[in-house]
Structures are given as C-alpha cells and as structure tokens.
Chain A
Amino acid sequence: MSQAPITLIDYDAGNLASLEGALDRLGLAYRRAASPDEAAESGPIILPGVGHFEAAQKSLRERGWWRLLPGLVAEGRPLLGICLGLQLLAEGSEEAPRSTGLGLLPGIVRRLGPGVKVPHMGWSRVRQHHAHPALPDPHGGWLYFVHSYALEPTVNTIYVADHGRPFTAIEARGMVMGFQPHPEKSGPAGLLLLQSTLAWMGATAPTPEATCN
C-alpha cells in the first residue's frame, strides 16, 4: 500500500494555512511542493487557488507545474483542484479569454450573473447532479463559496449549487476532481467532503514513527 503524502502545490495563489489545518485535523500526511521536484512520487495532488486565472496560470507555468500536470494525470495520478484550482483544470475561462486552461475537465468557466451579487461569497446549498462512488448525496448541505466565475453543469458534474443559475460545485472525470467551494472553510461538512475525496484518491494517514505490539 502506498504511503505517499498528499502533494500540495504551493504557487503563491492559495491559502495553504487553512488547507493544511484541515488536513491535520483529518490526520492526513501532506507535503508542500513549490516545484514538481518537491512533489511526492505518488499519492494525490491538490491544486488550491485564489486570485486571477491568468496570474495563477503564469505562476504554475513558471514553476513547471503547467507542463507536467497533464502527464501525471495521464499516468493515473489523482488531482484535486479547489476553487480557482478547479477553474484552471477546465478548458478555459472568460476571466482570461486569451489563455487556455489545462483541459483536464471539460467546459469553459463563465462569469456569474447578471442579476446576482458577484462575487458569489458565502454559504450555499449543494445538491447531487450525478452519483459518484466517493461522494454521498449532500441532501442540500451547505458549503462555502468565494468566486466570480463557474463551470456550467455537465455529465461530469457531481454536485451543483445555484447563484442566479445552476453551476458546477463539484466536477469529476476519472481521478481528476474539482471543487468550486472551499472544503477547508466549510465547517464539518467540508472536512467530511475532503476526507471522502482524498480517501477515494488513496491518501493515507501519516505512518506512526514506531509501532508497539
């Protein structure tokens, strides 16, 4: 069984303190990796992200992640994008019309609205769109969102939420998943979501330093 820690991509575009706190509370081993050299050899990779699509993309390119991630995914490496991380996995975004996304999830990220307050900031209910082995029906549970752009629901959408129109809250294709909400900011429901997803992706608890018995 693999004992590889979760690799957290550290590229100046994410709130890693909260995410690390959440992983600590779940007892999951992780490692920050500013460049692909620092990544664990196996195990799930998390691409967090807040900020502007293009700035984040540039930073990922400079650090070598942009070129490498599609290959890792092709090898079957689990990848979880959170918030802007999800958007970067898509084919592109209206936020940066001249750039393309990683194309690991289908669809173009579009601006929310009109007719609603943007950014969509706060707690919204999510509901099941398609079944997924890792994620139970959320039954209208609340998750925390902060974003101005979103993917439209597709056949790969697991959970949807509404802000003016239905949008993708959780998307999955194979071992690639994207969360539009912040599970690390979504109270107990978010922790549970992170736990189920990472367990499904093969994350493991830290190895005890010594074992008795």
Chain B
Amino acid sequence: MPAKRIIPCLDVKQGRVVKGVQFKQLRDLGHPVDLARRYDAEGADELVFLDITASLENRGTREAWVRDVARELSIPFTVGGGVSSVADARSLLRSGADKVGINTAAALRPALVSELADAFGRQCVVAAVDVKRDPDLGWRVYLKGGGEPTERSALEWLWELNELGAGEILLTSMDRDGTGDGFDCELLELAAELPIPLIASGGAGLEVHFLEALEHGADAVLAATLFHEGILPIPRLKAYLAQNDISVRI
C-alpha cells in the first residue's frame, strides 16, 4: 500500500493564491510558486491548485504559473478549474501539471472523462465531486462550486466516474467544508469501496479528523485553511499519524 497522502489545496485567482473570506473579500496569500516551495519543504505529498477564475482570457496566465510551479516543485500537483475539453487538459499537462481536476464539465458531459483517460491515461484524471447529505439520495451531487444541485446520487456518480475512466476521486463534503468538525466518515467509508484512490476533503479541523478519514478508507486527505494559516503544520500532522500506525512519508 502506498503511503497515505497529505494534500494542501490552494485556490488561485488570476495567478495569485487567495483565501476567500466570506466569499467576497479575497486575501492574497502569494504567488503559486512561493506556496509550492513552502509546502514542498514542509513535506506535503502532493498539491492541488484550483483555479477559481479559470476562463479563456486567463489561459496564458495559468500556463505561466503552472510551468513555474512544475519547475520548482519536487512533488506532484493537480490543477483544476474550468477544464472542459481535452485541449484544456493538454495545455495544463504540457505546462507541467501531473493531473487535471474536472468537476462540473464531467457532470455535464460524462464522455469527457473517457476522452481525457484515453488521451492521457487515467492516472492524470482527478474527478472532483462536491456532495451534500440528502434525504432522498443519501448524498446529492452539486455543481459549480456547490451552487447548483443535480439529480445525481453521489455514490452512483462515483461508480460511474470510475467506469468512465477517472483515476482518482476528490470527494468534498459540503456539509462539513469550512466547519472544522471532521470529515464525513460515513460517506468516505462507502466511497472507499471504489477501486481507485480516494481523496477526502471538507471538514478537517483537528489532527484526529485526518486519522479518522484515513481509518475510514481515504487514501489521501486534503485541507486548506489549517495548513495555510499554520494552525496544523504538516510535519506535526505526519508525526501524529505515524504514531497512530498510519503509513506516511516522513
């Protein structure tokens, strides 16, 4: 079994890493390369960059920072946000990203997942899925950053993504996201039955939450604020997980 991975997630807007405060004010945290270096040195196993303003006009900006990050970083990284075609993905991969994240575009046109897997191999395709608990569906899939409900059941969609050719699932519980109350372990346990790696996201607040998610079958855990703010340094988290018999790269 590979080591369980610790993944900081960085939101990027127009080539800068930002932190959203109540959706409106965005605080500038620095250039992607500076944060990439910092997390590389801290012992992160992988990074996820989410380009929150991805659009055609910004493509050049994005290629530039992705290339800079690729040259500086000694660990793998995923770039997501606005990827809706093989051409979008090719531009990111050619610039040096290891994997591309897809979300809304995959839900709107599931064949995109297969096209990406055929073109680049499924290991390059990270399917991001945002879900909320739901009385009818168990967990319901939401699109566009959580703003738009769909009629899809999360678990059915995850299995479909696997069939289509996703190489990895990045599963965010919107109920837990930003709460610091812990990951949705019930959801993780069900999703962990998939034959592809599972990244747990949404709800990390304490060291023990990471342990719980990994014990419930996640292959990797993702968080943003805890790491960005230095509330939980990665070396401390890894030491804690290692003490609890979780295999981590130290």
Residues on A close to B: CB < 8 A? Answer: 15, 17-18, 20-22, 24-25, 50-52, 116-125, 142, 144-148, 163, 182, 184-188, 190-191
Closest CB of chain B to A20's CB: distance in Å? Answer: 7
Closest CB of chain A to B246's CB: distance in Å? Answer: 13
B71 at the interface (CB under 8 A from A): yes
State the 7 A-B residue pairs at the shortest beta-carbon distance, nearest first.
A17-B96, A122-B2, A21-B71, A17-B70, A142-B249, A123-B3, A119-B123
Interface-central residue, A116, A121, A182, by most chain B CB under 10 Å: A121
CA distance A186 to B75 in the complex (A): 6
**Which residues does chain A contribute within 8 Å of B220, judged by CB atoms?**
122
Contact residue among A116, A123, A184 (Cβ-Cβ distance under 8 Å from B5): A123
Flag if B74 contacts A185 (CB, 8 Å): yes
Closest CB of chain B to A13's CB: distance in Å? Answer: 10
The contact sample of 17 A-B pairs, CB cut-off 8 A, is: A15-B93, A15-B96, A17-B67, A22-B74, A117-B197, A119-B122, A119-B167, A121-B167, A121-B197, A122-B45, A125-B3, A142-B249, A144-B76, A147-B123, A148-B123, A182-B76, A185-B98
Contact A18-B73, Cβ < 8 Å, known A120-B2, A121-B2, A122-B2: yes
Contact A21-B195, Cβ < 8 Å, known A119-B122, A122-B219: no
**16 further contact pairs, Cβ within 8 A, besides A18-B98, A21-B74, A123-B3:** A15-B98, A20-B71, A50-B120, A50-B124, A51-B121, A118-B195, A120-B2, A122-B3, A144-B76, A146-B123, A147-B123, A148-B123, A163-B2, A185-B98, A187-B74, A190-B74
Dominant SS at the A interface?
mixed
Contact residue among B72, B75, B98, B120 (Cβ-Cβ distance under 8 Å from A187): B75
CA distance A184 to B120 in the complex (A): 19
